[in-house]
Structure 1
Amino acid sequence: MKLGIFAKTFEGSDPETVLRSVADAGFACAQYNMACSGLAAMPDAISEEQACSVAAAAKASGIEIVAVSGTYNMIHPDLAVREAGHRRLAVLAERCASMSTGLVTLCTGTRDPLDQWKEHPDNNSPEAWRDLLDAMETAVEIAERFDVDLGIEPELANVVNSAAKARRLINELKSPRIKIVLDPANLFEVETLEEQRTIVSQAIDLLGDRIVMAHAKDRTQDGRFATAGKGVLDYVYYLRKLAEIGFGGSLVTHGLSAQEAPGVATFLKTSLVGARR
């Protein structure tokens, strides 16, 4: 597995500065965010020059751009907000090839009007699922047009809040463009070690044929998010289960400070060694 990190962990508004920081911290790849180019995360426009500068910086720093973040609230209660997100997704997807990547990560969304990562009771409604299908069909059309894949991530606060719902979405859309970004810390809050392992194992078994990226953060004992290695997630078990399905993609950490990054790189390397035993 290749070790990676969210590029926006590091300060900077030009790709060369940011990606050199990624390399210096001990990582081989990055999930890019257009904020690292001094733009909005989902810009209304990206010039060819701006896109090519990402690829040039990646080559100069030896960092692979394994994905670019394209998150917007796909089931926002205001249809106009969703439509603006679709337009910006097309802008991003059109420039992916020039940025030397072929994967855009998405947010399946929430009915919360202010925070796309906040749970809402209507997320489990049939209407929310219908709206997600409509939004994903639009996203798949964009992905086909620009030859990119779309990474969705099961997340407790979003409409796709479990591995089972992610599988349902894959089955209903029937598009090979839909891939999975798996973050086990997004699948539980407070569970026993055995319950946690069961959740992780079942998710990998159910989604293994679509997993293209693994995320790495953690949970504290009381359910809060934490830096990878600072919580209760059994990383050796998680990485061993990924290895058992032949996963050889990127393991991308996030939710940490730039100062913590070198230590997390060391922790993940150690965990990968442990998973092979």
Structure 2
Amino acid sequence: MSVGVLAHLFGSLPYKELAPKVAESGFKHVQLALWKAISDINFSKPGNLSPGLANAVGEQFDKHGVSISVLGCYVHLFDRNEEQRRANVNRFKELLRYAKFFGAPMVAAETGRNEGNDYTDRDWSIMRVTLEELVEEAEKWGVFVGLEAANDHLIGTAPELARILKEVPSSNVGVVIDPGNLLTADNFARQNEVIGEAFELLGSRIIAAHAKDRMLLDDGSLGVVPAGFGTMNYELYMKLLNQYKPHVHIIMEEAKEYQMAQAKGFIEEIRGRV
């Protein structure tokens, strides 16, 4: 029931320095976003990955007892600029091809968002076409596409994520669950309902989980803080996670290095008793 961490919370480092730093902080697995976390290799554009490079990075983490549970791909998947969308899709597909050489079972992403949240039916159609293309690649290589709903994104709610899963019915698409991404200032008082709905609709498709916390601020907005530093119902979150997906990997978000041990201990204590 180990809790992992976003690798880039430690900053951007040479991978031979990053791996031991993660291990020294007590984490056994990471979500690795190559161009956010690794400084000594140019991952700014697709094309430089190879089995050898992926193995070298993966083996360095393994040497220190850390696995790569998720490859993160922070790209806009329905970009209205077709040239940019193609570049984003190609980057995602490259990670799918090499994921297993890193030792990672999945490549995960949120869908992306437009300024002003002015989403159209065409945006949804393009997202569906994009996902179909990514799924075709994932099926070839025996890995998962992990999709995460996030407020203000095209796919921002649990029902929207459930809808796209029905429209692209592949077993190579899974859910990265994060209740913190589904909560807003407007629905925070109903958080138990929001969290319960997410598991009811998506529970069987969960392949990884994220952990951060939320709290209402004095100005009425919803703040984001490390797990245990806010007022999100973690008892309910961990209870449902254990019920639907025991031993699923949890990746911790948001924490500064000095907050990591406290947040990690908070998650593990609750998950171990509910």
Q: CA deviation at 1:274?
A: 3.8
Structure-2 change in CA distance of 1:188 and 1:13 (3 Å): same
Structure-2 change in CA distance of 1:44 and 1:193 (3 Å): same
CA distance in 1, matches of 2:121, 2:216: 33
CA distance in 1, matches of 2:236, 2:44: 33
Q: Which moved more, 1:51-60 or 1:185-194?
A: 185-194
Which ranges of 4 or more aligned residues in structure 1 deviate by more than 6 Å? none
Does 2:33 align with 1:37? no
Q: Say whether the 8 Å CA contact 1:15–1:53 is kept in structure 2.
A: no
Residues 118-139 of structure 1: per-residue CA shift (max 9 Å, x gap): xx3322x211111111111111
Q: Which moved more, 1:222-231 or 1:167-176?
A: 222-231
Percent identity over the alignment? 23
TM-score of the two chains, using structure 1 as the length reference: 0.90
Root-mean-square deviation (CA), in Å? 1.8
CA distance in 2, matches of 1:192, 1:93: 35
Aligned to 2:56: 53
3-state DSSP of counterpart to 1:73? coil
Aligned to 2:224: 225
User: Amino acid of the residue matched to residue 212 of structure 1?
Assistant: I
CA distance in 2, matches of 1:47, 1:67: 18
Q: CA deviation at 1:27?
A: 1.7
Does 2:117 align with 1:121? yes
1:60-99 alignment, distance < 5 Å: 60-99=63-102
Residues 162-200 of structure 1: per-residue CA shift (max 9 Å, x gap): 111111111110111110001111001226776111110
Among residues 129, 147, 157, which one is paired with 1:162 in the alignment? Answer: 157
Does 2:197 align with 1:196? no
Structure-2 change in CA distance of 1:165 and 1:192 (3 Å): closer
Aligned to 1:115: none
Does 2:136 align with 1:141? yes
Q: Say whether the 8 Å CA contact 2:117–2:154 is kept in structure 1.
A: no
Q: CA deviation at 1:253?
A: 0.6
User: Amino acid of the residue matched to residue 117 of structure 2?
Assistant: P
Q: CA deviation at 1:42?
A: 5.8
CA distance in 1, matches of 2:110, 2:19: 24
Among residues 146, 152, 156, which one is paired with 1:151 in the alignment? Answer: 146
Residues 103-126 of structure 1: per-residue CA shift (max 9 Å, x gap): 0002212233xxxxxxx3322x21
3-state DSSP of counterpart to 2:23? helix
CA distance in 1, matches of 2:55, 2:165: 32
CA distance in 2, matches of 1:174, 1:193: 31
CA distance in 2, matches of 1:191, 1:204: 20
Aligned to 1:117: none
Q: CA deviation at 1:260?
A: 1.7
The runs of 5 or more residues in structure 2 that have no matched partner are none
CA distance in 2, matches of 1:43, 1:132: 21
CA distance in 1, matches of 2:71, 2:224: 22
1:20-31 alignment, distance < 5 Å: 20-31=20-31
Q: How many aligned residue pairs are there?
A: 267
Does 2:3 align with 1:3? yes
User: Amino acid of the residue matched to residue 239 of structure 1?
Assistant: M
3-state DSSP of counterpart to 1:22? helix
Structure-2 change in CA distance of 1:260 and 1:33 (3 Å): same
